[in-house]
Each structure stands twice: as structure tokens, then as C-alpha cells.
Amino acid sequence: MLSYLHEFHAGNHADILKHLALVFIFEHLNEKGKPYTFFDTHAGAGLYRFDDERALKTGESMRGIQRLLDYASRFSDDVPSEMQGYLSLVKKYAADGMYPGSPVIESDLLGNGSVLVASELHSAEFDVLQKIMRGRAVQLHHRNGWEMLRALTPPAIKRGAVLCDPSYEEKQDYTDAAKTLCDVHKKWPAATLALWYPLLSYRNDIIQGMKDTIKQFVLGMNAHTEILDVPFCVDTEDSHIETTLDKSIGSAKPRLYGSGMFVVNPPWKLEEKLRRVLPFVAKALGCEGCARFSDSR
Ligand code: SAM
């Protein structure tokens, strides 16, 4: 039973990190002017309204992308040039009070002759996605993303990349992510595999285990394969405890204190670009100095 709905979270700090990395991956793919295949295993609904009652309830987009856009317009001279691609794409939708999800970003950036394949399992979200993507060149699957990726790789056009953005509602997602990415890397070793993961204190071990499994497998196949791991914290790990100090210490449910991107075969300059833009994002969101770079090779 799927209960996660991205409408509550769209445009938050995690989307900013993930979509910046996504835009950078596409910028790299588009540089050569040659076709490629892109897979999005967990597509979501595609477009999200700032004034959706679910977005207003959490305030995550207000504290995330809306704050970033406001900061970028007030301090335009400080905006890193690497960020322009993402910002101009986001501004196009923000003008209509919306934030673009991953399949819309991918479809906007898709190069000529390239193939985009996206899957979404939640029936209601898939219906919305189908409407949003009408008229766009994309193959949509109402299907389990892990299963779709295994079934359709390696693709006919071998140049390419994958975004895996599970909701991690079930612990099973951590094992599915590790197993699927190992299997896919084995049969499609040249692909860029980008996996988003949450930073949750009560899940630290399982998250580390997931990353270690992929890393060991990939490096076991070829010790020279590059892996980039970029955690981006927006809060301290125990911030949920501090906020409830006057009541029962530690009783609040630990919450997302950031997230990370784990990338096998990161495109050239992905790390450099993230290093340039994340300090600006952190400043805009009021969490200076929280981006950590750990090249896991
Ligand atoms: N990638 C989207 C973006 O960046 O705009 C957001 C995706 S959201 C974090 C995760 C989505 O995965 C949800 O819409 C959820 O319904 C869907 N989902 C959950 N399990 C899935 C599965 N096994 N296969 C495909 N989609 C799944």
C-alpha cells in the first residue's frame, strides 16, 4: 500500500539537491549532441502547485525552493553561474505558481533523438503524471520502477543515465535499491546511476549498508569506477530532540535532516558543479556549511 505523496514535499531541500544534480547530468549528456537513454524509476506526479493545500500544510516548498528563488533574486550577483540552468527552468514554472518534478525537468532538457522512460506505481499519481506529460516525448509505465529498470536495461541507445528517487516508505526500498543498482551496473556498466537517499538518524545503518553494498559491488567489478557521494544536511541529526526540550526529551519522531546523492559513474564536473552551488543553496536556506563531499571511491 503506497501512502507517500510528493505533493507534501515538492520543492523542499531534498528536491533542490536532487534536481540540481539531475540538471547537471543532463547538461553533460547534452554536451556531445549525441542521443542517450534516460530512466526515471520513481517519477511522481510531474508538476506541483505552491498553493496546493498539502504543500501549504508542511511549508516545505516555502522553506525550500521559494526561499531559494527569493534569495537568488535579491542577491543575483552572488548566484553561481552553474546554477543558471536549474534556476531558469524552475522560474519558468514558478511564474505559474508551480514546481517541476523530475520527469518534467527531464523532458524539458531531453536532447534530440534521445529516449526518456519513466515509471510511477501509485495509481492516482500516475493518472496525474499522464495528464501532465501529454504531448511530451516520454515512455510512461504504471509499474514498479525497480522491475522496469531491470527489464529495460541495457537499452538500445547505450549512452545514458538513471535517476532512482524512491520514497523509502518501506525498508524494502533500501534492499531493492542496492540489488537493482548492482544488477543494472553489471549489465550496463557505462551508465550513470544516480540514487537519492534520505538522511534519517534512525535509518543511518541501513542507509550506509545500502551504499556500501553498491560500492563494494561496483568497485569489485572495476576498481577504477568513480562513485560520488554528496550528503547535504539542512539541520543537525538530533534537531528533533532540541525542539521538544521543554517537553519529553527525544519523544518527537526523528525527521529528515537532509539528504544525499549517491552517483555511480558521475559525469565529469558533477562534483565540481555541486561544490560550487551547494554553499549558495545552504546560505539561501539558512543552513550554511552543511554540504559534505565524500568521494567514496
Ligand atoms: N522523482 C520525483 C521528483 O523528483 O519529482 C519524486 C518522486 S517521489 C520521492 C517517489 C515516488 O515514487 C512517489 O510518487 C511514489 O508513489 C512512487 N513509488 C513508490 N514506490 C514505487 C515503485 N516501487 N516503483 C515506482 N514508483 C514508486
The pLDDT value given to residue 228: 97
- Nearest residue (by CA) to ligand 1, atom 21, is 121
Residue type, 158: K
The pLDDT value given to residue 120: 98
Enter the CATH code of domain 6-285: 3.40.50.150
Spans of the chain, pLDDT less than 50: 240-249, 251, 296-297
The pLDDT value given to residue 52: 96
With residue 106 as reference, give the H or E element that holds it. helix 102-109
The ligand 1 atom at the shortest distance from the C-alpha of residue 148 is: 24
The residue among 165, 235, 246 whose CA lies nearest residue 200 is: 235
CA gap 209, 215 in Å, rounded: 10
* Distance (Å) from CA 173 to ligand 1 centroid: 11
Annotated binding site for S-adenosyl-L-methionine: 19, 42, 102, 120, 144-145, 165
pTM score, two decimals? 0.94
Q: Which three cell numbers stand for residue 159?
A: 549512452
The residue among 230, 247, 142, 244 whose CA lies nearest residue 194 is: 230
Q: Could you identify the residue written with the cell 545552504?
A: 282
With residue 105 as reference, give the H or E element that holds it. helix 102-109
Q: Which three cell numbers stand for residue 211?
A: 551504499
For ligand 1, whether the C-beta of 125 sits within 6 Å is: yes
For ligand 1, whether the C-beta of 2 sits within 6 Å is: yes
CA gap 237, 259 in Å, rounded: 11
Residue type, 113: G
For ligand 1, whether the C-beta of 100 sits within 6 Å is: no
